[in-house]
């Protein structure tokens, strides 16, 4: 599970307290303490919405999110971003409902006797409330983005009468997540160059603006090249920063990567933009070659270097502005009163994601957040609601809390009712693999047991995002199988290696299985892949041992 820093999409709300001693907690909404407008529910433009704001405010927030992503698409198309089969959750809460409930929640959270909170000695305080260490204050974050392996959720406290869509932006942390978590991984030069540009981005009057490029290097001497050769940019990894010379080389490499990306996006009235994106997308799978460069951009690398040098004076003196040629007409979407299932599932999933975040910043309060998540999820379950989406969130909540048996039982119930989300399917494959191996003689899986393990894992392959653990579990299942796999059976591992070529354990497992079952050509190719990406001495020794067992080349 992952957690993220603040996604400050709203610049209106501020933290109630400032300073190093303030502990900023995620929202903790106790339904019994919050009176007023009921929750509203809707789905639109890739979002699933749960809102306690007026419908008009909710629509403006959703439309603002959509327009920001539409604007981002001018420089980073959807194909180059992380995406998921699970709709993004957007939970909106009316600011006017928050203050009184927050005060009550703080009192509840700091009460002595909570699970995980020590009782002795109680610190003095009004009404028996345990006080934090001197100087520490607690407040609630107004906006937060959290994510799991396969899903993302955003919580926002919104001022209904003072909401200005033009003051919203997408933060660097959020965009970094989109480009670094994309599978297959984008080329390092593009990630570095794009994020270097985005560090100083501005959203102005419906435009995305990259300011003049920071180029802290003296002009090239007469006759010397102004920029590096394309091969020197796209082939190497980032140089280390252990010594000043390497640090200077790193800064130069980052600046030139940013120059190349900006040239591809803006130069010649954007005529290279589609070619740049093709180069990035294909390069993520094929790696760099001069032939690929020519196919995508219609230029020789040396020609591109000359164009970069000619574009440099403009890049370091003028901003680059991007905007869609026209704003798309956004479809109307209905908002209806949220059902008990909608509230339990979406709010409960958000509260599940809060637990590891709180555990990291204030471990003694994490059990309280876990208790709240379980209570929210069970509110619908205890009234007889059985829905695959609810059950899989309940299962993930239990698995994250270490309750393996309860989580496995809920996963099986969810799978019997409908299709699972990617991470839930991967977890079901994992728990089934452990169970089937435990019950099988010698831990070896017969064909029937193997099929029950592979079923959810293969279902997860058809969903986004691809998860490396899916392919790792498939490899483990075949390693434990009593039946011999064919080339076709193991082809799924080759698919996994194409998606995750730097995951050493996966690559080596795939190589071992191919070699063990006599598929030497594929095994040798996988060992070549492993040698390109492995730095660990133990892994290199393992590669050498496997290669020693290869049959002589014919």
Over the stretch 450-479, which tens digit does the pLDDT of each residue have? 999 999 999 999 999 999 999 999 999 999
Which domain does 222 fall in, by range?
189-199+212-318
For position 31, what pLDDT does the model report? 63
Q: How many domains in the chain?
A: 3
Peptide bond between residue 214 and the one before it cis (omega within 30 degrees of 0): no
Looking at the fold, whether 20 and 154 belong to one and the same domain comes out as yes
Mark whether 93 and 195 lie in a shared domain: no
Q: Are 131 and 14 contacting, i.e. CB atoms less than 8 angstroms apart? A: no
Residues 175 and 223 in one domain: no
**Are the beta carbons of 84 and 152 closer than 8 angstroms?**
yes
Q: To which residue do tokens 């497992």 refer?
A: 509
Residue 290 token pair: 């001069």
Per-residue tokens: 201:
């981005």
- Could you say which of 272, 305, 337 is where a domain stops? 337
Single residue among 286, 318, 350 that ends a domain in this structure: 318
Same structural domain, 252 and 269: yes
Does 28 share its domain with 143? yes
Q: Note the pLDDT of residue 185.
A: 95
Q: How far apart are CA 370 and CA 390, in angstroms?
A: 16
Same domain, 109 and 10: yes
Do the domain assignments include residue 38?
yes
Q: Max alpha carbon distance in the chain (Å)?
A: 84
Structure tokens at 261: 């990306």
* Shared domain check, 40 and 94: yes
The pLDDT score that the predictor gives to residue 163 is 67
Res 117: pLDDT:
39
Among 214, 145, 100, 109, residue whose Cα is nearest residue 4:
145
Query: Does residue 282 fall inside a structural domain?
Result: yes
Position 377 scores a pLDDT of: 97
Integer CA distances (angstroms), 184 to 180, 467, 520, in order: 10, 11, 26
Question: Do residues 95 and 159 lie in contact, with contact meaning Cβ atoms separated by under 8 Å?
Answer: yes
Residue 549 class from Cβ within 10 Å (0-12 exposed, 13-18 middle, 19+ buried)? Answer: exposed
Asked if residue 424 belongs to a domain, the reply is: no
State the pLDDT at residue 242: 55
Spatial distance between the Cα atoms of 365 and 33, rounded to a whole number of angstroms: 19
What counts of helices (H) and strands (E) characterise the chain? 20, 12
User: Do 18 and 160 share a domain, yes or no?
Assistant: yes
Same domain, 263 and 128: no
Alpha-carbon span 434 to 480, nearest angstrom:
11
Kindly give the parts of the chain with pLDDT less than 50.
1-20, 113-135
For strand 137-140 and strand 22-25, is the pairing parallel, antiparallel, or unpaired? parallel
CA-based torsion, 434, 86, 48, 207: positive or negative: positive
146: tokens are 């959290």
């Amino acid at each position: 599970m992952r957690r993220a820093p603040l996604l400050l999409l709203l610049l209106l709300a501020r933290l109630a307290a400032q300073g190093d001693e303030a502990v900023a907690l995620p929202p903790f909404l106790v339904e019994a303490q919050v009176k007023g407008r009921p929750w509203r529910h809707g789905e639109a433009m890739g979002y699933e919405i749960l809102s306690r704001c007026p419908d008009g405010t909710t629509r403006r927030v959703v439309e603002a999110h959509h327009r920001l992503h539409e604007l981002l698409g001018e420089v980073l198309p959807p194909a180059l971003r992380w995406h998921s089969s699970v709709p993004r959750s957007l939970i909106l809460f009316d600011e006017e409902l928050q203050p009184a409930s927050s005060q009550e929640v703080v009192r509840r959270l700091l009460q002595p006797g909570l699970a995980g909170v020590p009782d002795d000695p109680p610190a003095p305080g009004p009404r028996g409330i345990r006080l934090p260490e001197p100087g520490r204050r607690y407040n609630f974050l107004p906006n937060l983005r959290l994510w799991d392996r396969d899903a993302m959720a955003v919580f926002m406290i919104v001022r209904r009468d003072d909401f200005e869509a033009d003051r919203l932006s997408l933060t660097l942390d959020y965009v970094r997540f989109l480009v670094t978590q994309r599978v297959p991984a984008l080329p390092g030069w593009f990630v570095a160059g794009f994020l270097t540009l985005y560090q100083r981005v501005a959203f102005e009057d419906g435009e995305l603006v990259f300011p003049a490029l920071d180029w802290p290097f003296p002009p090239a001497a007469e006759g010397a090249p102004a920029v590096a050769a394309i091969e020197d940019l796209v082939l190497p990894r980032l140089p280390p920063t252990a010594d000043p010379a390497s640090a200077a080389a790193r800064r130069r490499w980052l600046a030139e990567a940013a120059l190349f990306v900006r040239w591809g996006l803006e130069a010649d009235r954007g005529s290279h933009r589609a070619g740049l994106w093709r180069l990035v997308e294909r390069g993520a799978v094929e790696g760099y070659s001069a032939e690929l460069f020519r196919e995508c951009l219609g230029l020789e690398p040396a020609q591109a270097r000359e164009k970069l040098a000619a574009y440099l004076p403009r890049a370091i003196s003028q901003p680059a502005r991007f905007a869609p040629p026209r704003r798309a007409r956004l479809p109307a979407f209905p908002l209806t009163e949220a059902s008990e299932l909608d509230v339990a599932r979406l709010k409960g999933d958000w509260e599940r994601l809060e637990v590891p975040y709180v555990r990291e910043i204030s471990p003694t309060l994490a059990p309280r957040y876990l208790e709240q998540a379980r209570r929210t999820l069970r509110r619908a379950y205890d009234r007889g609601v059985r829905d695959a989406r609810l059950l899989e969130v309940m299962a993930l909540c239990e698995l994250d809390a270490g309750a393996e048996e309860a989580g496995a039982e809920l996963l099986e119930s969810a799978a019997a009712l409908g299709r699972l989300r990617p991470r839930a399917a991967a977890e079901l494959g994992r728990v089934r693999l452990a169970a089937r191996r435990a019950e099988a003689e010698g831990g070896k899986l017969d064909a029937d047991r193997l099929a029950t393990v592979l079923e959810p894992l293969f279902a997860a392959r058809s969903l986004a995002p691809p998860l490396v653990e899916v392919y790792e579990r498939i490899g483990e299942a075949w390693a434990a199988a009593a039946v011999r796999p064919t080339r076709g059976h193991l082809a799924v591992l080759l698919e996994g290696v194409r998606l995750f070529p730097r995951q050493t354990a996966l690559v080596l497992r795939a190589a071992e299985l191919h070699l063990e079952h006599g598929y030497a050509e594929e095994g040798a190719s996988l060992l070549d892949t492993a040698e390109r990406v492995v730095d660990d001495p133990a892994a290199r020794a393992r590669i050498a041992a496997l290669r020693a067992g290869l049959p002589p080349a014919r």
